[in-house]
């Protein structure tokens, strides 16, 4: 029998959506940087000796000291006998010991499988925090924990990916934006509907721009959702309260799911700027999914 030399797994028979994905970790710039790094190891033809990778927020690779609380807490939860050692009080701060004991008493085994929504006691604490922050009740049963924003965003967008009458779904995304979103849309075959932020107006957003984005999208996709990054990434702007209200009205009128990416809510460097969560300001929209995650910096 003659052997079939064709490869069953190659870029020739890949899912085309995967091939179109470009993200900060695998786009043209980091790919070229890796090539240059190899060249530096061989012949040093470049006028520098090393590369500094800034395509990802990875400060600890650049010497930034990690926050110790998270690491200390994980170490105690992973090996509880440390808590009872005679010198534990001198090795670990009191608040870490208290929190570790609380966590250990709330779970059967650290490191085992959790509920798909996350540990209930953690979700209750998150709900309490959101209730305190926004001065309105949050239900822990509506909270889904994730190991970072990327995973939960992929999960949400996968639910939106739908072809209806041969027309794909579309999602409004801000430009400039964090490349995770364009990568997700490409992965699931969703059409990006770009709306452009106004650089001359502190990267502000106008409702006319949103309407124009929908007009230009006609016939290309069925709009299903809108991504709002607030504070902006990479632009850093903070939406005023009245604009958030207008966005909520717009999503309600257009029957759009609002994806509120509020990861950088604590990164405010102007005392005159007031940040509001969309949960805090919405009143009329039917469905809101709120994306907030513990920054990677905290746990690494």
For 10-40, how does the pLDDT look when each residue is reduced to its tens digit (9 = 90+)? 666 767 666 666 665 567 788 889 899 888 8
Chain centroid, CA 188 distance in Å: 17
Give domain 149-299's CATH number out of 3.40.50.300, 3.30.56.10, 3.40.640.10, 3.50.50.60: 3.40.640.10
Q: For the residues 246-256, what does the mean pLDDT come to? A: 92
For 124-154, how does the pLDDT look when each residue is reduced to its tens digit (9 = 90+)? 999 999 999 988 889 999 999 988 888 888 8
Q: For the residues 63-73, what does the mean pLDDT come to? A: 91
Q: Which long-range contacts (CB under 8 A, 24 or more apart) does 268-273 make?
A: 268/231, 268/238, 273/238
Is the previous residue joined to 176 through a cis bond, with omega within 30 degrees of 0? yes
Q: Are 289 and 144 in contact (CB under 8 A)?
A: no
Q: Which of 84-98, 204-218, 281-295 has the lowest mean pLDDT?
A: 281-295
At 290 the pLDDT is 60
The residues with which 175 forms a beta bridge, in sequence order, are 196
At 299 the pLDDT is 33
The residues with which 172 forms a beta bridge, in sequence order, are 193, 226
Residue 150: partners with Cβ closer than 8 Å, 6 or more residues away: 180
* Phi (first) and psi of residue 85, to 5 degrees: -70, 150
Q: For the residues 255-282, what does the mean pLDDT come to? A: 90
Instruction: Round to whole Å and give the CA distance between 161 and 184.
Output: 10
Instruction: Round to whole Å and give the CA distance between 223 and 125.
Output: 35
At 285 the pLDDT is 56
Instruction: Round to whole Å and give the CA distance between 250 and 210.
Output: 9
Instruction: Round to whole Å and give the CA distance between 265 and 263.
Output: 6
Share the mean pLDDT of the chain.
86
State yes or no: pLDDT of 108 exceeds 80.
Answer: no
Instruction: Round to whole Å and give the CA distance between 283 and 117.
Output: 26
Confidence of residue 294 (pLDDT cuts 50, 70, 90): very low
At 296 the pLDDT is 38
State yes or no: pLDDT of 284 exceeds 70.
Answer: no
Q: How many residues does the chain have?
A: 300
Chain centroid, CA 243 distance in Å: 22
Is the previous residue joined to 234 through a cis bond, with omega within 30 degrees of 0? yes
Percentage of residues of the chain with pLDDT beyond 70: 86
Boundaries of every domain in the chain:
15-56, 69-135, 149-299
Q: Are 231 and 237 in contact (CB under 8 A)?
A: yes
At 150 the pLDDT is 83
Half-sphere CA count of 139, side-chain side, radius 13 A: 2
CA distances from 240 to 115, 133, 273 (A): 37, 17, 9
């Amino acid at each position: 029998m003659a052997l079939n030399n064709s490869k069953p797994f190659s870029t020739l028979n890949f899912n085309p959506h995967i091939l179109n994905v470009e993200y900060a970790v695998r786009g043209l710039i980091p790919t070229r940087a890796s090539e240059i790094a190899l060249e530096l190891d061989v012949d040093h033809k470049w006028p520098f000796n090393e590369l500094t990778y800034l395509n990802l927020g990875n400060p600890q690779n650049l010497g930034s000291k990690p926050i110790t609380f998270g690491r200390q807490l994980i170490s105690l939860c992973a090996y509880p006998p440390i808590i009872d050692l005679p010198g534990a009080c001198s090795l670990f701060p009191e608040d870490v010991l208290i929190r570790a004991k609380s966590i250990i008493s709330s779970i059967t085994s650290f490191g085992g499988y959790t509920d798909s929504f996350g540990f209930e006691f953690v979700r209750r604490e998150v709900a309490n925090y959101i209730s305190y922050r926004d001065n309105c009740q949050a239900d822990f049963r509506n909270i889904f924990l994730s190991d970072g924003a990327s995973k939960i965003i992929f999960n949400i967008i996968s639910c939106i990916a739908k072809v209806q009458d041969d027309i794909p779904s579309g999602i409004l995304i801000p430009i400039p934006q964090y490349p995770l979103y364009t990568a997700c849309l490409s992965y699931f075959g969703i059409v990006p509907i770009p709306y452009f932020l106004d650089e001359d107006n502190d990267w502000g957003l106008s409702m006319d721009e949103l309407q124009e984005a929908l007009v230009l999208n006609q016939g290309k996709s069925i709009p299903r959702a809108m991504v709002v990054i607030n504070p902006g990434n990479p632009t850093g702007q903070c939406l005023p309260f009245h604009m958030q209200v207008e966005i909520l009205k717009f999503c309600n009128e257009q029957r759009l799911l609002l994806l509120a990416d509020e990861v950088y809510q604590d990164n405010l460097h102007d005392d005159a700027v007031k940040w509001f969560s969309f949960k805090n300001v919405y009143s009329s929209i039917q469905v809101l999914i709120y994306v907030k995650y513990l920054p990677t910096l905290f746990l690494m």
